[in-house]
Amino acid sequence: MFKMKKVYFFTAIMLMAIGAGILLSVQYIMHKTNSTEFCVSCHSMSFPQEEWETSVHFSNPKGIRANCADCHVPPSGLHYLKAKILAVKDIWYEMMGKIPDREAYEKHRYEMAKRVWDDMKATNSETCRSCHSLEAMEISSQSKSAQTMHELAKKDGQTCIDCHKGIVHFPPEIPDDVATNNIESPKTEDKQILDNSKPLYNKSISTAQTENGSEVRLMPYATLTDWNNDGQQITAELHGWQQAGAESIIYMELGKRIIVALLEEEAKSQVKVIKTIQDEVTDSEWKEVLLTVKIPQGQLTTDLTALNQVGNQLNQTHCSSCHAVISADHFTANQWIGVVNSMKDRTALTAEEVRILTIYLQRNSKDIVSSAH
């Protein structure tokens, strides 16, 4: 009986020792595979390594360096275990030569970046928050745009990766099947537009003429009413507002700088003034105006929903590459001008797409939407 207990005792000790050995070995392997030296030992990792070494996460005035695992491996828990298990596939891909050169790396850049973004989103940017705390930030000492975005993040419960994509590694080119860099406006109606009870909307920046032949530059979404169609051209009324001293511009609303048309000098004389108002907000005189214009039918559409889809798609595709999409009704019409101008250079938007996006956001801004109810 005593011998049996002794056997059980030593067996238990041996099993505990084996278990401890396995545990320590796993821990050692986990620790070693977390090292930057291990990460960059793969040939394919030489490309992101170059980008990391030129980033603020590698070298900065405070002397704080974020290594590969600091950003890509959650510090603990199930997310840590999941990241380590899924990383096995990266070793397999390396062995199979999935990314033998830079061309292959660029080909897969979007796929890899999207996977990392999705993982960080799922973990509420756990790796970012291990160093950066929104609650600990002195937001008042940040730049104006950073203050705005961090306050917005607090209010809407956004996570770090919503805005901070591409902070270390170059952002990927969006593939053709995902991007909408060349979004087309709603297609031209094949048949002659006859129902003049519906307003018409300009699809893109285009040129119209006044009754005396002067040129008018119509902006996307410019709304035309009381129109007639001769089969080729539309003759219609453009309604809007002009601010005193800036008669070359027609805006959609009083005091709101939603541009609908730009007038050349000769066209200004064709504008009919309906009434004049002193606007307290802008502290200036505004005139409600009408202008008769002629424009080819092909430049116009009756489908405002399709036109709005173009603007929304631009917002969803281009603006979401750096931060969470901000809904149009978050800012006022006038605020959107500065917001878009501060962000446009970070996107691949053309000048016309910037104009379409700006006017879409302005037309659906919080002060426009609220006034419609």
**Annotated binding site: which residue ranges?**
39, 42-43, 68, 71-72, 128, 131-132, 160, 163-164, 319, 322-323
Q: Which residues are annotated as a binding site for heme?
A: 39, 42-43, 68, 71-72, 128, 131-132, 160, 163-164, 319, 322-323
CA neighbours within 13 Å on the CB side: how many for 137?
17
Please give the Cα distance from 279 to 54 (Å, whole number): 51
Please give the Cα distance from 179 to 183 (Å, whole number): 9
Print the SS3 string covering the chain.
Answer: CHHHHHHHHHHHHHHHHHHHHHHHHHHHHHHHHCCHHHHCCCHHHHHHHHHHCCCCCCCCCCCCCCCHHHHHCCCCHHHHHHHHHHCHHHHHHHHHCCCCCHHHHHHHHHHHHHHHHHHHHHCCCHHHHCCCCCCCCCHHHCCHHHHHHHHHHHHHCCCHHHCCCCCCCCCCCCCCCCCCCCCCCCCCCCCCCCCCCCCEEECCCEEEECCCCCEEEECCCCEEEEEEECCCEEEEEEEEEEECCCCCEEEEECCEEEEEEEECHHHHCCCEEEEEEEECCCCEEEEEEEEEEEEEHHHEECCHHHHHHHHHHHHHHHHHHCCCCCCHHHCCHHHHHHHHHHHHHHCCCCHHHHHHHHHHHHHCCHHHHHHCC
In the block, tokens 């005139």 appear at 287
Measured at the CA of 89, the angle between CA 83 and CA 94, to 5 degrees, comes to 125
Contact 359, 219 (CB under 8 A): yes
